[in-house]
Every structure is written in structure tokens, then in C-alpha cells.
Structure 1
């Protein structure tokens, strides 16, 4: 995605391939050549031929040069596409509205506000502070003044008392980040510097007295070295301690059994907590957990007691200590519930049930305040309801200011009565509210409200589509009110379907622009996500993964059969784990899609799970190569191995990241190399590589604009009305 102008002789093959309107002409693409290194393997009586196994050696000069040439080819394509320039201008206008606004807001237990604010003059986000919401704003930290000049703050975690704040940023390591610490009152940095940490996996957990913290330490963060991301452990650190000595207080030991590729992280919820809960974290919804007294940890006498197991279906870190009570979200046969018991008498089989969710309308999250508990339900992943449980354990539904499709809580603490909530929807802008003691909603007002009159007449609807096996799949649509829903509509499909994550509604001017121009946005809520509860996730896992892409195919077919669009006018977009869902849908029904666009996608899951360098728990989602049945499932879900020479594939844009710690660059490279080798038409098959950022794509406003300008210009450039 970053412009790398190597091998500029490739430009000539693109200049004549794109017309003045960005439409692809009938000119064959000439792709960079790479010699094949075929590797044949037989396992569980299945023979597989890997044509481009040499791409797994990312240090080979031929491979490096080939990747650079692929990136240059993609950059040349966009440099000659007038639609790209049009989107750059339009999306820049949207982002300018956001510049100067506030982001990464953190509200601690004391009610202090910490947040980033973008400054146009320096083109960077600075850290600001308010003692309380209506207090005067104070600039705390300018990243450019740091000795190493931080380009972007990526993490914030204030202490409970607000006297200190942890500030994270990316360093040169592939996986690791660095964290520094600021004295809020004096606006001075402590000398402490924490490395080998990745806040996406486990951040800073401040001790109740804010004197120090616990964090997840990774001994190896270089993906080229043995033990990468494995054998992590939680470290107790007091500010001023020696950084050479790592006080391992939670990790694999004689009393705690945590696999090498799991993550032993902890949770401390408030300054009043007497207990700390430690989790054996993975990609699963359910963890094993242990509990210990914080005083024992600090004294160096950690005594971890088994607390619950995966079989008891407690949702990962959704458990909160309030005094001597433990409140948690737990799965059950009918959906899930919020429950509690006394810590000195734990009973996960027969807890006190506080609220129930169903399979179609599960409880998705909860937050504990001083005298109340708040929780949210999400019907089919897109229709949110908010609830309150008072100190007498009576429930009531709260009336939200607008119909919301997404919600998250903020600022909650067992020491505070007030709590905040963020609401969002397909056509309703993200807004933050404070829930009053009477259950009313008051706008927080910290962020400036943006007005987008061009989206006022957009509407959203949800319909149910019958999949290949009769199962009803939710499908969300966004379009302009009053448009003719006929076969001339251009459709942009965004799908995911993995890890139990719901495709929840989000307000994005960049995405809504498609609908404002008269197109249709479509969001299939396929199996593998969490829209209809845990079972919905299970039905799209491992050997049942095929349900995910068959649901996507069914939703696409339904749009065509209903006359909302036609073949040739449907662009498919996905990211990360969604690469399997989308990639296999394209393999089975390439005729349905005008283009396939995938950002940091997983396209070769079999070889990734077979790789000696893999060090994640993704096998819990997709299956392991060491099990006969799950191995066959991996073969069947692998977009790379299931590419067929006899098919005509749509225009394809794959956008991997060279610094990706989860999906290596060769995963996308092998897919592109094979697809280009079998492509016989004139549709572009491109790989645009991000040489700077990682899987999460952390970048500034300009990078976001450029990324989505490529995605939407590619989608629209490759629309082809079949009736033409």
C-alpha cells in the first residue's frame, strides 16, 4: 500500500489498460514472473501440490524482487486511474471534518479524561487531559518532543488515580511495541521504558495503588527467530524497578498450566480490588482462569488457585470483581446469561442468574458500576437494546436516544455510579452519552458533532436469506431512500464471518459514500460470526467452515434473484480471517462477483497452520493439521489450493502487510502468484503491499484515505453491466 517504485518498466502495461474514466479496457496485463518451486506432500491420504512454496522464503532475493515488482505494478495501476484521484479528493474532505477531533478517549476511575487530538500544523495526535468532563483542557504530551520522536501514539492506559498514564507506540520490532509513562501533574516522563509488549494481546493492568502494573511480556518478538510469540508471561513491575529483572507472576509453572502458544494475562478492574484474575487466553471464546490475592502477588508469594475452566463457558475476560462478588457472562444451551456468586463460594454450575440472553438476541457485553449493572443485547448482531440491573437485582430496559446497531461502555467502575456508552449505527453517527442515575442519556459533548447532510436520506434494512441448507441468514442493506431497487444497482459487499465476531453496524462516511452515489452496501451476517449467538459461530468453524462461504453465496444470489442487482455489478470486500469466507466464495462462484478485494487476508490457512513459525491459537478456529478430520477441513477451506484453471476469476486486489505478525506476506503472495498464472482474461490481478504497517494497519488520516480510495476505485472501475 506504500508506494514502492521499483521496476518502473511495468508501467507501460497499465497506461493503456485504463481509460480516462478509470474503466478497465481489454488489454492483457503482464505480470512479474517468478520461477516455481513445486512441493508435493501427502498427508492423511491427501496429495497436495504447492506450486509456489519458494515464496515462503521471504529473504530470498528473487522473492523480494518479485514482491516489489508486484507492488509497483499495483501502484502503477492506481496512478493511472482517474477514479482513484476522485476518491482521494472526496475521502480527504471527509477526513478533514475529522481532523482536530478527539480520538482514543480513556476515562479512568477518578473521572479523568485522557485523549488524543489531531493537530493540523504538525500533522500528529497530541495527548490531552481534563481533570473532569467540564474542566479546562490541558496538553500533556507532544510525541514529536520525545527523544526518539514517536510518529503515532497507539495505546493509552491511565492509572486509577489519574496521576500516571501509560503511552504506547510502535517500535521497529515486527510484533512488539514500546510503552513509556508520564507523570500527569508535572508533565514529565518517567525513565521507565517497557518493550516486548503488544497491547492488542495484553496491555497494562495498573495495581490498585497505581504504584506499578502487570503486563504481558513476550520473550521473542522477532518472527524470524524460534519461539516467536510463544512462552509469554505476566510481569509485575513497579515504576523505578530494574528493567532487566522480569518478575514472572503468572505463566506456565508447576501450579499453572498454560500452553506455550496461549497468553497468560491478568485483569484488575478497580483500585478497590483485592483479587486479580489470570486468564489462559487464546482465540477461543472461553478461557481457563485462575484467581489470586493482589497482596500475595505484591509480596512475592503468588498463590494462584484454579477458578474456572473452558468447559464452564465463561466468556473470556468478561468477569468483574465487585467486593467479594464475581459477576460474569456465561454461555448456556439457550444463549447466555449474566450471573454472579461470592468469591469464597464459587459455583459456575449453579450461579445466581441476573439476566438472560437468547440465541437470536444474546447478551454481548456488560459493565459493573457501584450500585448497578448495565448490559447490552444484540438481535442478529444489528439491533441493540440496553438494560439496567439495580442494587435490588431488578431489570429494566433503557430508552436509547436513537435506534442503535452497536454499543460499547466506557468509564465504568465499581467505585462510580455513572457510566458512559457509545452508540453507533449504519446511518447514525457514533455518539457518546452519559447514563444518568435515572436511566436517561445525556450527550457527553467532548467530541464535536459532524454533520453529513448527504447521508440524511440513506436508509437501512435487514432481511433474512435462506441459505443452501434452509438456515436463515441475516443480510443488512444500506441504500438511498427512493432509489429503484433494480438490476442496474452497483453493490459493495463487506463480509467477515469468523471468531464469533459480529458484523455490527458502523457509521463510516467513506463507506456511506457508495450508497449516497446510488449504490447498495450489503453486509451478510454469515455463520462463523456471532450474530445469532455462540452456535452461529460454531457452525462456521473448522470442518463446518464451508457454511460461511455458502451463506455469502446465498446472500449474493438473493440480491440478484430479487432484482436488486445483476452479475457483474457486485464487488466483494473482506479483511483478515474473512479472506477464507470471501476467497472460497469466489472459488466456487466467481461469476457472481465483478471484483474481489481483500485486506491483510488469510488465503492459505493450510500452509499457515503447517508452518514451523506459526505461533498463534488460530487452530482453535480453523482446525489443526495433526487431526485427520480437521486437516481435510483445512484443505477444503483453503482459497489458494482450491483455485482452478478452468474458471474465469473476477478482478482481484489483495492488500497484505509486510510487517503482519499474524498472516505472513507469503500467504497472499502464493495466492496472487497462482491466480496470475492461471488468469486468461483482461481483468487485473494485483497485490498492493503495505511495507510500513502491520496487521492492524495503524496509520494516519492520509493513509486511511489512500487505502480506501484504492479499495473503492478498484471496485467501481471493474463494474461491468452484463447487459451491455
Structure 2
């Protein structure tokens, strides 16, 4: 069983924030005390002197200056000195924010509760993750039946500062061996450690240089994994675009591993993965050049010398294995089904012309899992979960009764399991784990959250608003009950809008801290996401990317029109692709927001594809080299190239990590330099650069508390809101 550990009990940490003009005197919003504009402007900022070089690129005859290109060199001492200088300015500013320490203490309280994950069976043991409260990383425990639980793996011992994390873990089919991946300093590069679960001794040398890799065991002899060749130059920023699938035998050294797929121009792909079926009969290989669309291949492992069989030879769809019953394969696909369907096919002739609908496409997006000999079809109804249990023939057994409107996840396990587990949550309800008897369909509370938050004091509702082109967009708004719609509520608008990712409601203790301050938390389901299938995703890509920004701006305008907030109290926040969203919208409509919080953002749209695996994002963005039309379009919104002289931009706190090798920090560095050079007005243009940190996964709780005390403190301070 593979578990990817983003965080146990802490979800949706990249939360929204926004921007606006600063008035000289601000009235007190509900639940807070005002701070005068004079107080806000006491901090006379002096930004570091960022050198400008005469660097120019030519795109279809257009010359584009790139004066801060030198900041892309993360190995240079000059860049490191610049980071140090910027952090000094930012920390000096934040140190004067009177509410920062108070927020830090409240975040500690809200995060200091026991968080336990759903149990899972591997071999004779039952395993579960638990964080006692403020442990930097969750600990993996195990127990025999109902016996006493003992620590199996404690990631808090991996490094003194908690920045080495357990990225994922995969047990062999019989549960006697396990491989776990570790991430150091938040990097996407991984090390793989394999041990015997009884002796806890290594049974193989530690593998290095894995990246974007699953682990899939073949019996107990070894496993499949994926890696890039280490790039020349900086491993944190240099381009990686030749992904390869290897098989590692436990008795061999990594240098002797078998190359299974990739390594030739004919098989050049940026994302390759291998998956062995539960019965060890087949290997499925997925190969992709971008984050959307994949080729698919099949190998019969009963015949070691068998050739790869091509299931799909193009990347026009997203297709993956769900399960197999002997030679019958079940595949999940959006081929000829934008909302996804499940098809069945015999492995002897697995091509699309032989597919038969097993679970037909519906009007709602499908996600599907298996466990206990059943299939669980989870549908999104306007981003809300609806789950159906089906038998092996695809016949409906029952609809799972959920405890409310929100997000249900889990419903997976081995075929012989009698009991499965799932979690339920929404923006105001901490995650509760339920057990499900697959035969009777009865659910019972297995573990109720111990979060220190009074959900009954808050309400969460879904609304629909109209975007610029008439498209209806859903948004969930959460706040204290009895909120006065007087336009003066501090509001955080969070968005993503890309890569087919769906934002479903989920509780976060970090967000709870915002709600406790009388804050409104609003999350729209923008185009570019996956909430309404492939068509919704495609409507926010390439030459239609502006739709995403328009959807976000329309969400802000709706909140203002309905008197939830006003430009003086509206903040926008998003991370990664959401950082691009914030960067683009704060530049397009600076008067609409008070605070902007772009996190680990993709901000230089002309050069994003030249770093690490960035070229794989071209399905969503296109590249400046594709065509003059694409270049011209990217130039209309690329944040680094669209900062204007003499504009009063919203108070801005850019956040990034110096070890982010997914969206390299140079994006944020260059954006900060442009804002500091061109912005006019009293609002601060700051960048907070976390050291020994990456894109976000595995962030220690201690760093999370520090980060959000700074983010919320900065936001409320610039709104003129005193922390309660």
C-alpha cells in the first residue's frame, strides 16, 4: 500500500489573501479595532539594491528585457546575499507587526491536538500515522490486532530541524518488506530506503536521485521506481525532461538496476511510472510529456521475455489502471468521456477499440477506488462528494450515506478487507474518520477529530456567481454565524484554477485561525480546475488562461457586491499555479484588493519551461516558443513582465522556499525585484524566503506556525485590523 504524506491532519495550507489601495484612516471592521493609516506607514522601507543587467531575449522579433536574470543562479554567492538582504528587510517589517506573536500562540493552540490517520493493514500488522500535537512530522505506528501500538518509523528523527520528511511509503505485497522515500529540505529529489519490517534492518542499499516516483513491488524480489538523470549545474533548478523507469532487485546495487522504459529519443517522456497489479501478473507503464494526457503500456510478468503491449500510443487522454480480475483489466479514462468512465478489456487485446463501458460517463466527474472486493464511485456534484458502492459487475449496491455536505475520501484497501475507512470534512468541520462494513454498508465513527475549534459557531454555504463571459462559477464561503454584511469583514479569497485540480471543501486548523478573527474565507472553483471535468479544465488553459483570472476577479466583485467585504478588507492568496493567479490578478486589478499573497508562484511565463520539469506544464500554459500568438498571449499576463511603473499595488508578501525545485524561487525573486523597483505608494512589497524548504510538502509544523503567523499578521495589519 502506498501512502503519500503531504500532511496528516493539516490540509489546505496554501490559503488565499488579497490587495487594495490604502486609506489614511480605516474604520474598525466587525470584531476588530482599527489601526490608523499613519501607524501603518511608520515603517519606512528601504529595499535592497537589486542589480539590473542588460539581458534581452528575442521572441518573434520582439525584444524582451530580463534585467534580473542573474537571480536565476541559485548557486551564486550574489544570489545568496540578495536572499539574505531581502529576508532581513522582511523580518524587520514583520517584527514590528504587533499581532504576530499573538497569532503564533493561537496557531500553536489550534494545531496542538492529536491527529491520527486511518489505519491500514500490511501483513500481520495494522499501521497508522499519528502526530501528538506539535510534532514537526507525523509518526508511523503499528500494532498486532488490538495490542499495544508501537512506533515503527519516526520522521522527526531524520533530521534535527525536522526538515527531512517521510514523502511516501510502500509495503511489499505480503507486508514483510517496506520501501520509504525521504525528502530533504523540501526537495522533490528523494532517497529510497528498504527495510525488513521485523528486524528493521536495511535489505538493500539506499537508492538516490528518485524524483516524481512511485514505488511498486514485484513480489519480494524488488520494485519499480522512476528517476531523471541528475542534471548538469544546479539540481534545484536545471532542466529535467528524460524520465526513466527502473527495476531494482534487492540483491543488486542501484548502478546495476534494469532500465525498463525510457532513455531513448523514441521513449523520451517527462513523467514515467510503473504499477504492478495486486496479483503480480501485469506491469502497467504510464508515459507522459505533460501533466495532462498519457500513453499506456502493458507487460505480462508471467512471461519475463514478453514485449510491451501498447494500449494507448498517444497523449490525447488520461487513462490509468483501476484493477484487474485475471486477464480482465479495468481502466479509468477520459477518452471520449470528459467526466471520466471506467472500461473493461481483456489484456490480450487492450486497445480502445475493444473497450466496453463498465461504469459509463455521467454529468458529474468520476473518481474511483477499490477495496473489500467492491468498487467505489465518487462523484463531484458542484465540488461536493457523492459516493456509490458497486459490485464486481458494476451493479449498484448502495449509495454511501455521508454525514453532511463536504468531501469524503478513502474507500480503498485490499480485496479481502471486510472493513474500509474513509474521512469526511468541510471548511468548518474537522476531519472525522469512519469505518465502513463493506457487506452491510454500515458506517460508524472510528475516530473523531480532537481539533480545538467550535464548528457550531460557523457556517459554510455554496453560492454561484457570474464570471465576465457569463459562465456560472461555484464558490463556498465560510464565516462566523451572525456575520454582519457591512463591507468591513477581513476576507481571504483563495484560488488555484489549473492542472485539472479540484478544490473540494476541507478543514484546516490554519484557516480556523483566520475564521476566529472574524475573517471570511472564500474558495471559488475556477476554470482550469477539474470540478466539471476535462472541458472545465481546458477552458482555463493556454489561450483561454485569462478565463481563470476573470473568474477570480468576478469572485472578488461578488463578495464586494454582496457586502461581505470591500477592497480595503479583501486579500487574495494562492500557491504554485495559484501564485500565478494572485500575481496576474493583483497586476490587472490593483484597486480591487488590499493584500496579495502569492506563494511559490509560477511568475515568469516566458521562461518557466526552462527550469526542472517545468516544460511538462505546457498543456496548461503553452510556451513562448510555440507561436507568436502564444507568446503575445503570455505577454498579456505574465506577472514578471507586467509590473508597471508608478502603480500603487496592494500590500504584497511573496513567499517561497530556497529549495523549491518544482517552481524554482527565481520566479518569486524576479517578481519581488520588479515590484520593489516600480511600485509607487506606501504599501510594502516584501518577499519571505524560507531557507531549507521546498514547494510545501513535508513542511514541519514549527515552520508552518511561523509562516502563517507572518502571513496573517501581515494581512490583518495592512487591513488595519487588530488581532483579537
TM-score range, shorter chain: 0.7 to 0.9
Change (3 A) 1:49 1:289: same
Work out whether 1:258 is the aligned partner of 2:263.
no
- What is the alpha-carbon distance in structure 2 between the residues aligned to residue 441 and residue 516 of structure 1? 35
- What is the alpha-carbon distance in structure 2 between the residues aligned to residue 29 and residue 462 of structure 1? 41
Offset at residue 110 of structure 1 (A): 4.5
Change (3 A) 1:213 1:537: same
Q: Decide whether the 8 Å contact of 2:541 with 2:621 is kept in 1.
A: yes
Query: 1:43 matched to which residue of 2?
Result: 59
Change (3 A) 1:187 1:56: closer
Query: 2:193 matched to which residue of 1?
Result: 180
Query: 2:572 matched to which residue of 1?
Result: 572
SS at match of 2:719: coil
SS at match of 1:67: helix
Query: 1:423 matched to which residue of 2?
Result: 424
Change (3 A) 1:443 1:190: farther
- What is the alpha-carbon distance in structure 2 between the residues aligned to residue 463 and residue 122 of structure 1? 37
Offset at residue 408 of structure 1 (A): 2.5
Query: 1:692 matched to which residue of 2?
Result: 692
Q: Decide whether the 8 Å contact of 1:598 with 1:655 is kept in 2.
A: yes
- What is the alpha-carbon distance in structure 1 between the residues aligned to residue 318 and residue 573 of structure 2? 33
**CA deviation digits over 1:142-171, x for unaligned, max 9?**
557779998533322222211112222224
Query: 1:62 matched to which residue of 2?
Result: 78
Q: Which moved further from structure 2: 510-519 or 484-493? A: 510-519
SS at match of 2:489: coil
- Return 5+ residue gaps in structure 1 as ranges: 1-18
Change (3 A) 1:302 1:176: farther
Q: Which moved further from structure 2: 148-157 or 433-442? A: 148-157
Query: 2:706 matched to which residue of 1?
Result: 706
Query: 1:587 matched to which residue of 2?
Result: 587
Change (3 A) 1:346 1:515: same
SS at match of 2:90: helix
**CA deviation digits over 1:102-156, x for unaligned, max 9?**
35x6735647433343468986654321245x34313334557779998533322
Work out whether 1:634 is the aligned partner of 2:634.
yes
- What is the alpha-carbon distance in structure 2 between the residues aligned to residue 184 and residue 454 of structure 1? 40
Following superposition of structure 1 onto structure 2, how do residues 171-250 of structure 1 map, counting pairs within 5 Å? 171=184, 174-198=187-211, 201-207=212-218, 209-220=219-230, 224=234, 228-250=239-261
- What is the alpha-carbon distance in structure 2 between the residues aligned to residue 145 and residue 641 of structure 1? 44
Change (3 A) 1:231 1:580: same
- What is the alpha-carbon distance in structure 2 between the residues aligned to residue 259 and residue 312 of structure 1? 17
Query: 1:467 matched to which residue of 2?
Result: 467
Query: 2:182 matched to which residue of 1?
Result: 169
Change (3 A) 1:672 1:349: same
Query: 1:398 matched to which residue of 2?
Result: 399
- What is the alpha-carbon distance in structure 2 between the residues aligned to residue 516 and residue 357 of structure 1? 42
- What is the alpha-carbon distance in structure 2 between the residues aligned to residue 498 and residue 69 of structure 1? 33
- What is the alpha-carbon distance in structure 2 between the residues aligned to residue 576 and residue 615 of structure 1? 12
- What is the alpha-carbon distance in structure 2 between the residues aligned to residue 431 and residue 462 of structure 1? 21
Offset at residue 667 of structure 1 (A): 1.1
Following superposition of structure 1 onto structure 2, how do residues 645-724 of structure 1 map, counting pairs within 5 Å? 645-719=645-719
Offset at residue 232 of structure 1 (A): 2.7
Work out whether 1:305 is the aligned partner of 2:309.
yes
SS at match of 1:54: helix
Offset at residue 661 of structure 1 (A): 0.9
Give the length in aligned residue pairs: 683
Change (3 A) 1:350 1:53: same
**CA deviation digits over 1:617-656, x for unaligned, max 9?**
1112210222113222322230111111242100001111
Query: 2:374 matched to which residue of 1?
Result: 372
Q: Decide whether the 8 Å contact of 1:258 with 1:264 is kept in 2.
A: no
Offset at residue 38 of structure 1 (A): 3.2
SS at match of 2:40: coil
Offset at residue 249 of structure 1 (A): 1.5
SS at match of 1:28: coil
SS at match of 2:493: strand
SS at match of 2:507: coil
SS at match of 1:373: strand
- What is the alpha-carbon distance in structure 1 between the residues aligned to residue 696 and residue 119 of structure 2? 20
SS at match of 2:689: coil
Query: 2:25 matched to which residue of 1?
Result: none
SS at match of 2:568: coil
Aligned counterpart in structure 1 of residue 300 of structure 2, from 293, 300, 311: 293
**CA deviation digits over 1:3-31, x for unaligned, max 9?**
xxxxxxxxxxxxxxxx9979623543211
Query: 1:138 matched to which residue of 2?
Result: 150
Following superposition of structure 1 onto structure 2, how do residues 499-578 of structure 1 map, counting pairs within 5 Å? 499-578=499-578
- Identify which of structures 1 and 2 has the higher relative contact order when contacts are C-alpha pairs closer than 8 Å and 6+ apart: 2
Change (3 A) 1:60 1:232: same
Change (3 A) 1:239 1:333: closer
Query: 2:11 matched to which residue of 1?
Result: none
Q: Decide whether the 8 Å contact of 2:371 with 2:413 is kept in 1.
A: yes
Q: Decide whether the 8 Å contact of 2:608 with 2:614 is kept in 1.
A: no
Query: 1:321 matched to which residue of 2?
Result: 324
Work out whether 1:30 is the aligned partner of 2:33.
no
Aligned counterpart in structure 1 of residue 171 of structure 2, from 136, 141, 158: 158
Offset at residue 405 of structure 1 (A): 2.6
Question: TM-score of the superposition, structure 1-length normalised?
Answer: 0.88
Work out whether 1:115 is the aligned partner of 2:128.
yes
Offset at residue 699 of structure 1 (A): 2.4
Query: 1:479 matched to which residue of 2?
Result: 479
Work out whether 1:341 is the aligned partner of 2:327.
no
Work out whether 1:80 is the aligned partner of 2:87.
no
- What is the alpha-carbon distance in structure 2 between the residues aligned to residue 223 and residue 625 of structure 1? 24
- What is the alpha-carbon distance in structure 2 between the residues aligned to residue 393 and residue 221 of structure 1? 46
Change (3 A) 1:92 1:343: same
Change (3 A) 1:41 1:195: closer
Offset at residue 549 of structure 1 (A): 0.5
- Return 5+ residue gaps in structure 2 as ranges: 1-32
Q: Decide whether the 8 Å contact of 2:166 with 2:180 is kept in 1.
A: yes
Change (3 A) 1:444 1:704: same
